[in-house]
Chains A and B, each alone.
Chain A
């Protein structure tokens, strides 16, 4: 040690603080996901595929990857059930794990598990059963968990990039299909552009607060504006917001979304729509509460709050209106669901704004903030997964049927599947007493409680508009003649049945027993 030059010792503080086993234990779910992904990936290389067949059969692949996701989920559940000890930092403050991030992680793993479960039939039918699919889902889920748990701007950026890369590739997974490639390329190019903005924003924040660590940034904000460069901080926050808005598909930054959602496999679309949104909203909520609701000594706190509220409100209103209005004229179910995903982003943004307001005004003093967002995301995730899993069975051969007209007579041909879609659509539309209704009720109620009447009103009016397009699916399934000639869909096998049954059943349960889940979301809200 002594004979080393002093400068080397100074520049390697790593040696003083190695990774401990506590750190590794804290990210055990992530490690399990990554490990399973790697094993599945390599194992598939050594599996011989029966040649000359259109269909492949690799049950071990599905089993292993789902098992990995389930174990990771169980691990997170265990951590959630443990008594609340507040937020704990790991990896030298790169990660901060609290109940909120654990709950969000659970949603992500849930999304991954259901996607893997629902994917088995589609992949088999199309002869696309490769280990890469499973590995990419697991890898991206792992990086999403890290994203939601990151407490440092650098960690957040790295994990966001990792998850984005995985999702880009997943979008392009059906290589033979033109629109799949097209969607992925658009996603990738525009994603790179928005990432540039995000990175610039993070750099600005770092420049203004002199720290990349969220805890230190909060301390700097509390300290007041003396050592804060306010224009730089505002610009940084705006650019960061733009980067995240891109990921969640808020209005002017949504343009990639319909093309990418339409191009990807239905299962992948469901996975993206759920997990990317959950992870991004987790970080968005955390940042919004950090910057928009931290009481500060100077004027900077009020400025940030006003700016964030104005910007998020504009985004929310534009997104709700745009998503719902454009969804109205879609003739393809997949595209319609893509625009409806944009619309739901709008509702969730309202939830973020109200959470910010509630925390700032002290309404959420005892309960924590953001429970409306948390509560909304759970049934939303289930509904989206269920809907896209159902969609993946609608098609002839390897061809998907997406136009609403092609579902005519589905109510007779596939009564169970149609019933599932019916329930999901009703829940999406927010008709009581479904899960979707409770979620919307909570968000709009909180908006009214915090004085955001305009947002609540826009949300309610656009929800009413949305009933039309959701129910037009039902109308086509049940009330239109036709569809007598050919069976329109393929029969789900065990895995698919399980995925549909579980998601639809869970949606129904949340609708019937909203109270339990509401209390859970209170318990896991951001303190």
Chain B
């Protein structure tokens, strides 16, 4: 049993570190940070939907649009980082591949812009 679990030890350590960091940062900010006690500031989200009350409430679809666009371009970063790490070993092919990927994403960006995806009003 011990033998099988051994490889997972680094993951456990990693998990502990992540949890510890997050917890300690939150703790620190709650101890040292300045406080503004107003209704808006006390709500869960400073803007957007209300966390309490009926969940069947309507709110603007624009939130989703922004969220989806964010996810899209966030993914770009998620891919860019590992690509940058192995960039040398991939050579020219890797560059072309990433350029194609970026090109498609750029196309999407142009599309979103021209269609007014970034206009709030």
Contacts and interface: CB of A to CB of B under 8 A. Distances in A.
Q: Are chains A and B touching directly in their complex (CB below 8 angstroms)?
A: yes
Interface of A: 1, 4, 8-9, 12, 14-15, 18-19, 38, 41-42, 45-46
Contacts of B94: 15
B110 A19 contact: no
Given A19-B93, A42-B107, A1 B114 contact: no
Nearest to B91: A15
Given A38-B107, A42-B107, A45-B114, A8 B93 contact: no
Interface of B is mostly: helix
A15 B86 contact: yes
Nearest to A46: B114
Contacts of B110: 42, 45
A310 to B, nearest CB: 39
A4 B93 contact: no
Interface in B82-120: 85-86, 88-91, 93-94, 97, 104, 107, 110-111, 114-115
Contacts, number: 33
Contacts of B107: 38, 41-42
B111 A42 contact: yes
A4 B89 contact: yes
Nearest to A135: B111
Nearest to A8: B86
Interface string B63-92: 000000000000000000000011011110
Contacts of A12: 86, 89-90
13 contacts: A1-B89, A4-B89, A8-B85, A12-B90, A15-B86, A15-B93, A18-B93, A19-B93, A38-B107, A41-B107, A41-B111, A42-B107, A42-B111
Given A8-B86, A12-B86, A45 B91 contact: no
A2 to B, nearest CB: 11
Contacts of A46: 114
**Which 8 pairs show the lowest CB-CB distances between chains A and B?**
A45-B114, A18-B93, A15-B89, A12-B86, A15-B90, A12-B89, A38-B107, A8-B86
A8 B111 contact: no
A242 B89 CA distance: 42
Contact of B88 (A1, A18, A41, A45): A1
A15 B86 CA distance: 9
Q: Give the size category of B's interface with A.
A: 10 to 19
A161 to B, nearest CB: 15
Given A9-B89, A38-B107, 18 more contacts: A1-B89, A4-B88, A4-B89, A8-B86, A8-B89, A12-B90, A15-B86, A15-B89, A15-B91, A15-B93, A15-B94, A41-B107, A42-B110, A42-B111, A45-B110, A45-B111, A45-B114, A45-B115
A9 B104 CA distance: 28
Contacts of B111: 41-42, 45
Contacts of B93: 15, 18-19
A42 B103 CA distance: 13
B90 to A, nearest CB: 5
A9 B85 CA distance: 11
B109 to A, nearest CB: 11
Nearest to B85: A8
Interface in B55-69: none
A45 B110 CA distance: 9
B78 to A, nearest CB: 17
Contacts of B85: 8
A136 to B, nearest CB: 13
Contacts of A41: 107, 111
B43 to A, nearest CB: 30
Contacts of A4: 88-89
A14 B91 CA distance: 11
A23 B86 CA distance: 23
A46 B115 CA distance: 10
A444 to B, nearest CB: 47
B93, B110, B111, B114 pick with most chain A CB within 10 angstroms: B111
A8 B87 CA distance: 11
B45 to A, nearest CB: 25
Nearest to B115: A45
A237 B97 CA distance: 35
A210 to B, nearest CB: 19
A12 to B, nearest CB: 5
Nearest to A38: B107
A14 B114 contact: no
B87 to A, nearest CB: 10
Contacts of A14: 90
Nearest to A9: B89
Contacts of B86: 8, 12, 15
A12 B110 CA distance: 32
A46 B111 CA distance: 10
Contacts of B91: 15
Contacts of A1: 88-89
B28 to A, nearest CB: 35
A70 B115 CA distance: 28
Contacts of A15: 86, 89-91, 93-94
A19 B111 CA distance: 28
A1 B114 CA distance: 43
Contacts of A45: 110-111, 114-115
A38 B100 CA distance: 13
A271 to B, nearest CB: 22
A9 B89 CA distance: 8
Nearest to B89: A15
A14 B90 CA distance: 8
A41 B86 CA distance: 33
